[in-house]
A and B are shown apart, each in its own frame.
Chain A
Amino acid sequence: MASEEASIFLETSIVSFVSNVDIDESSSDKTATQIAERISDKKFKLLDLIVSLRDYLTSQDLNRRKKALCCLSTVLSKLPDDKLLKNEISVVLSFYASKFDDTLMMQETLSGIYSLSGMKFLSMTEVGPILDLLSNKYNPSSHLAATRYFAFKILEKIYQRFSPKLIEDGELADLFVKTFLHVGNGEKDPRNLLLSFHLNELVSSNWNNVEKFKEDLFDILFCYFPITFRPPKDDPYKISNADLKISLRSAISASPAFAEDAFGNLIDKLAASSPSVKNDTLLTVKACIDKFGGEACLKHWLPLWSSLKFEIMHGNDAGYPDSPVSSPTQISEADNYQLSVNVMRSIASALLQFDEKAFDKFLSHIVEEVRPNFTYEKDLKQTCCLLGSIASANQQIFNKVVALVLPLFFKNSPELSKLKLEIMNLSFFFDAYIRVFGEANSEQNEVPPNSLSEQKDEILMVLSKALTASPKVEVTIRTLSIIQFTKLIKMKGFLMREEVALIVQYIYEAILTDNNKNIYYAGLESLKAIGEIHEDIVFEISLKRMLELLPIDPNEGAQLNENEPVDKETILKAILDFTNSRHKLVKESVLGLSKKLCQVAPYADSSEYCFLIISSIHTLLSNNIEMIRENDAGFIKENIEMPLFAAMTNYPSLQKDDHNLTLLSNIIFFLNLKSPRNTHQDELTRYKKYFVDSLQLFVKPSRLVVPFEKLLCGIDKNCEFNEVEHYFAQTMDLLRSEEITEAQFERLGYLELLTIFTNKWMDEQSLSKFINLDDLSPVNLEMLVWIVKGLVMKNSHHAVLFQEKFVNLLSSSEIGNYMAKLFEVFVVDVITFQKYKGISWNNNVKLTYKQKFFNDVFSRLVDAFKNTSEMDVKSNYLTALSLVSKHISSNLIEPYMNEMLPLLLQSLDMPNSEVKVSALNTLLDTCEKFHQLITEHVQTLSRSLLKLVSPVSYNSVSVRVLALRMLETLTHVVPLNHLLPFKEDIIDGLLPVLDDKKRIVRKQCVGTRQAYFELGQVPFE
C-alpha cells in the first residue's frame, strides 16, 4: 500500500486532473506527467492510481467515469515504455478490456490500450486478445474520427512490433488482417485514411497471407479511388490532397496480388472525362506496372493498350518535343497524353525484364497496328511519339523498336511537306536516343552499337537534302533541318568527327548565304551548341573559313563556293554573333581579324572596310573583356601589336581616319589592360622608345599620340615613368603651338595625355608649377580642364579649388559661354578611363567621382545662378549644369530635384539644343518619381514644351521628339484634374507639328495627341 504522503498526493492530483481535463489541457497534462514521474520513480505503483481512481471509475455519472479513465490513459501515455512489468500490463489490459462494454468511453479505452501496446514488456500472448477485442467489441461506425484514430494506431503499433512473429504464427496474421479490415471499414477521416492506406500497403507488400484477403484488402482501398480532398481552413493536420493521392496510389500498387483487380478497375476509370481523374488514374496505372512487374503486365497489356490507344492517337497532342511546354501547375490534356505514352513505356520495360518473347509479341502487335499509319500518313506524329517513347525505355528496347520502325521511314518522297513531317517524326527517335544513351560531351563519347546508327546515312541524307536541296523560301523545313542536325550532334557517340564537320559546314553556308532571320539565328544557336561539344571543329570549319573568306582588297566581294556572293558585313556579323562568350573562338577571331586588318590597310580606299574590321575586334574585346585571360591577352598582344603599330604608322586608312585610329588604340588598350602586370614596366619602356624616340611625339604634333595615350591608360600606375614633368611640360608647349590649332584630333590626344599624366604620375604638389590660372586664353582653359579632370577622377581635394575658379569663370562675358561647354569634359566617359571589373591598378578612377563632382558643383552653380540677373550669364550656369547632369545617372540627381526643377524649366528656353536635350532627358528620367513637383509646374512646363515642338532654331529633331515625349508622359504623371484645363491648348498647339518634315517627329506627335484626345475619355467596354 502506498504511503500516506503518496496517497494524499494521488488524491489531490486526481482531483486536480479531473477538474482541469477538457478545460485546461496543459494543466491536466502537467498533473498527469507528475503522476507518471512518481510511478516511474517507484514512489507508488500504477495499481495505487487505479485504486485511488476506483470511486470515480465506478461512479454512476458518465462524465466522472470518463474523466477518471482519461486520467489513467493519459498517465499511461506519459510513462516510459519499460516501467510496467509483464503482469502489470496484463492486469491493466484486462481492466481496459472490461471497459469495452462502456462504449461511450471508447476513446479513453483505446488510447490506453495504444499506450500499453507500445510497452516493452507487452507479451505476444496479449496480442490475440487485443485484436479480438477490436474486431468483436469495437464498432468503428459508431465512434468519432478521433476515437477511430487510436484503433488504427494500435494496429500500426502491433504491426511494427510483432510483424515477423505474427506471420510466423499464421493464424494471428490472419486475425490481424481481419481486424484491420474491420477497423478500416467505412473510414472517412483523411488522417485515419492515411494510416489505413499505410497499414494496407505494409501488410500487402510484406505478408504472404495477402492472397487470402486480396479482394477485401483491395476493395478497402479502391473504394476511395480517385480520391479528392480539399483541406478545410486551419486544418490542424496539414494533410493535402496530394498526400492522400500518393498514399492511396502506393497502397494500390503495393502488391502484385492486386493486379487482377487493379488493372480491371483502373481501365474502367480511364474512360473518365475529367482530366484530373484521368491523370490520377494514369499515374496509378504506371505505378502498378512499375511495381507489379512483367508477369502481371503480360495478362493486362492488351486491354490497357486498347483503352490507351484512343488517348494516344486522338487525344490532345503533346506537341513536338521541341515546342515549349505549357504551365506545369495545371493538369492539362497534354500532360495526360504524355502520361499515357509513358505508361506504354513502362509496360515495355516491365515486359522485357520478364520475358523477351513476351516483349517481342507486344511490340510486334503495336507496330502491326500502327503500320497502316505509315502507309496512309495518318496520325503519324502520335504514332512516332508513342514509338519514340517506348524506345526510350532502355537500350535493348531502343534497338528493337528502331530496327522495326525506322525502315518504315525514308520514302524519298519529292514533296517537301512530307519531308518536313518525316524529319519532325524522326526527331522523336533522336530524343529517345539521347534519353537512352545520353548527351554528347567533349570527353568520352563511346556508346554500344545500336540500330539507329545503322540508319545514320539515311538520316543524314534526309536532313542534308532538306537543308541544301530545298529552295531558300522554304524557311520552315530548312530551319527544322538545322535544329535536327544540332540534335544529332548532341546525341552521344552518334556521329563521327567527319560527319560533324560536314554538318558544321552546311550550317556555316546557310548562315552566310541565307538572309532569312530565322535560319540565321537557328544556325547561330546551332553553332554555339556544337561549339560546346566540338569547339575545334567549329573553329576549323566555320570560324577559320569565315576569316579566310573575308577579301583583302576592299573593292572585292567575298564569294562562297565560287558563285554565291556574301557581304563582308554578313561575315563579320556572323563572327561577332557566334563567337560571343566562347573563349577560344573570341581569341582566334581577334587574332584572325587583326591579321586581316594588316593585310587590308595598305589598300588606298580601305578606310571603311578597316572601320568594319576594327569595330568587330573592338566589339569582341569590349563585350568579352571579363572573360579574356591573362595569357590569352599576352599571346594576342605578342602576335599582333607590332604589326598593328606598323600598320597605323604607315597606312593612311588607319592613321588619317579618326574613328579607325581611336578604336584601334582602344583595342591595344584592352590587350594591355589584360596582359600580365609584371611585363608592364618593360612594355612602358618599349612604348616610350617607339613613340617618343622614334616617332618624336613630343617634338611635333602627331596623330599617333592617340595610341600612345590609350596605351598608357592600360599600364600599371605603379610603373616608373621617368621625367614625367618634362613630358608634361612638352605636351603643354605643343598644345600652345600654332601648328596644332587646326588639328582637332591631335589636340584631343594631347589633352587626354595631360589627363593621364595628372591622374597617374604627376605629383599633385608640383602641378602648380605648370598651371596658370590667370591666362584666360581658350587653349589654356582647355588644358586646365583636362588636367583637372585627372584630379577629379581620383577625388583629389586639389580639384575642388579649381572648380571654384571654373564656376567663377562662367560669369565672364567673353569666355563664360565656352567655359560652360567645357564643364562636360569633367564627367564625360572616355572608354579608356573607365573602371573594369577586377582591375584596380590601371587608373586612379574612383567609382563615385561623378557623384562627388556633381555634389560639389551643384550648389555653387545654383547659388551663382540665383545671384546674377544677367540672362547671358544665367544661361552659362544652366548650360554647365545640364551638360554635367547629362552624365549623372538620374537616381543621383533625385536628391537635388527640388532645387533643380526651376533651373531645368529655364534651360528649356536656352538658345542651345544640347542644353535643351539634356534638360528634357533629365525631366523624362525623373518625372515619374516627382509627379507632385511636376504637377505644381505643369502650366509653365506645358507652355515651354509647346514652344519646343516647332522646327525653329535650336529645336533640333531630338529636342522636338523629346518635348513631344515629355508632353505624352505628362498624361501618365499629372493627375487628370490638373491636366484637363490644358487639353485643348495642347491638342491645338500640336496641330502644326503633324506636318513636320521628319517622320519620327510626326509619329511621336500623333502618339502624344492621341494621349490627349484620350484624356478623360472612358473607353467603351
Chain B
Amino acid sequence: MSEFINETPTVLEDNQLPTRGEDTDGNLLLGTDVTKESLHRTKLLLKIDNSLQSPVLQNVELLTKLLQLNQAPELTTDESDEDTDDMADELGVPADPIDPQEIYDLIAHISDPEHPLTLGQLAVVNLKDIEVHDEGYKDRMAEVIVKITPTITHCSLATLIGLGIRVRLERALPARFRITIFVKEGSHQSENQVNKQLNDKERVAAACENDQLLGVISKMLSTCK
C-alpha cells in the first residue's frame, strides 16, 4: 500500500454519493403508450411495489394500449397521435435542465489516477462545488464551473485529474457550454499555477494529441456510468 502518496484519504461508499434519487422515472418514459393518467398511476404503483415487471403495471400499460388501439381509425391517424405525444413531451412533462447534479453524475465516477477509487468517493469533486449557468436557450452560451479538491495540498496529479474532467465534460456537454475548472481555494500549494494550467486551451489541445496521455485518460474514464 505504500505506493500511494496519500495513504489515508476519507473514502465514501459508492452508494453514499449524492444522487438524483428518482431513477425509475426515466425508465417509465420508455413505455410506448404513455398517457398522463397512466403515468400518474404508474408512479403511484411504484410506491407500493418497486418493480417494473409487476403484473399490475403491465396491466395498466396494456389497458392504455388497447384503449388507444380501439379508437376508430378516423381519430387515430398517425399525425394526430404524434401530435399529442409531442405535446406530452413538451407541455405535460417539462424539459430537464442541465443542473449541477447532472454534471456531478458525469464526473463523479471518473477513476482517480493513483487510487482504485472514483473522484466522487475521494470527494475530489463535490456536488456543492459545481456551478451551472444556463438559461436553457439553445442559441446562447452557458457555463459550467467545477472546483476540485485534491486529496492533499501538494497533489502532483491535480492537473491530470482536471484534464480528465475537462475531456469528459467536453465530450458530454453541448458545444455552447464553456467549461472552467479550478482547484478549490486553499486546497493546493500552487493554486494559481494549477488553475492557469487547467484552463489553458493550448495546453489542453496539446495534451489531447499525446497518445499515451489519452490512454491514461481513457483508463480514468472507463469507470464512468
Contacts and interface: CB of A to CB of B under 8 A. Distances in A.
Interface of A: 567, 569, 572-573, 576, 608, 611-612, 615-616, 618-619, 622-623, 658-659, 662-663, 666, 741, 744-745, 747-748, 751, 778-779, 782, 815, 817-818, 821-822, 824-825, 828-831, 911-914, 917, 951, 953-954, 956-958, 961-962, 991-992, 994-995, 997-1000, 1002-1003, 1006-1007, 1009-1010, 1013-1014, 1017-1021
A824 B215 contact: no
B102 A1017 contact: no
Contacts of A957: 29-30, 89
Contact of A576 (B49, B76, B89): B49
Given A573-B49, A612-B48, A1010-B221, A748 B30 contact: no
11 contacts: A611-B41, A615-B45, A663-B59, A744-B71, A917-B32, A953-B82, A994-B174, A995-B174, A999-B96, A1002-B96, A1020-B219
A744 B29 CA distance: 24
Interface residues of B, number: 60
Contact of A999 (B55, B86, B102, B171): B102
A611 B48 CA distance: 11
Nearest to A912: B78
Q: Which 3 A-B pairs have the closest CB atoms?
A: A1020-B215, A997-B95, A995-B174
Nearest to A831: B59
A511 B25 CA distance: 25
A992 B26 CA distance: 20
A572 B47 CA distance: 9
Given A913-B82, A961-B30, A828 B48 contact: no
B204 to A, nearest CB: 15
B52 to A, nearest CB: 13
A913 B44 contact: no
Contact of A1013 (B72, B73, B171): B171
B54 A619 contact: yes
Contacts of B207: none
A17 to B, nearest CB: 70
A1013 B217 CA distance: 11
Contact of B29 (A572, A576, A958): A958
B214 interface: yes
B69 A998 contact: no
B70 A829 contact: no
B69 A954 contact: no
B157 interface: no
B78 A911 contact: yes
Given A618-B55, A999-B96, A1006-B171, A659 B41 contact: yes
B138 interface: yes
Given A747-B70, A818-B73, A1018-B215, A1000 B49 contact: no
B69 A824 contact: yes
Dominant secondary structure at the B interface? helix
Interface of B: 26, 29-33, 38, 41, 44-45, 47-49, 54-56, 58-60, 62-63, 65-67, 69-73, 76-78, 82, 85-86, 89-90, 95-96, 98, 102, 105-106, 138, 171-176, 212, 214-216, 218-219, 221-222, 224-225
Contacts of B224: 1010
Contact of B62 (A751, A829, A1006): A829
A962 B72 CA distance: 30
Given A913-B85, A958-B30, A1013-B171, A615 B69 contact: no
Contact of B95 (A741, A991, A998): A998
Contacts of B221: 1010, 1014
B47 A569 contact: yes
A830 B176 contact: no
A741 B71 CA distance: 8
Contact of B73 (A663, A666, A815, A1009): A815
B69 A659 contact: no
A332 to B, nearest CB: 20
A340 B69 CA distance: 72
Given A658-B67, A1000-B26, 8 more contacts: A623-B55, A658-B63, A751-B70, A829-B58, A831-B58, A997-B95, A998-B29, A1009-B171
Nearest to B68: A744
B106 to A, nearest CB: 7
Given A748-B67, A831-B59, A998-B95, A1014 B48 contact: no
A836 to B, nearest CB: 12
B218 A817 contact: no
Contacts of A913: 32, 82, 85
B56 A956 contact: no
Nearest to A741: B72
B218 A1020 contact: yes
A688 to B, nearest CB: 25
A886 to B, nearest CB: 9
Contacts of B26: 999-1000, 1003
Contacts of B71: 744
A707 to B, nearest CB: 14
Contact of B218 (A573, A825, A961, A1019): A1019
A666 B90 CA distance: 35
Residue from B33, B47, B59, B90 with most neighbouring chain A CB atoms (10 Å): B59
Contacts of B76: 818, 821
Nearest to B224: A1010
A953 B174 contact: no
Contacts of B219: 1019-1021
Given A611-B41, A662-B59, A992-B174, A1014 B218 contact: yes
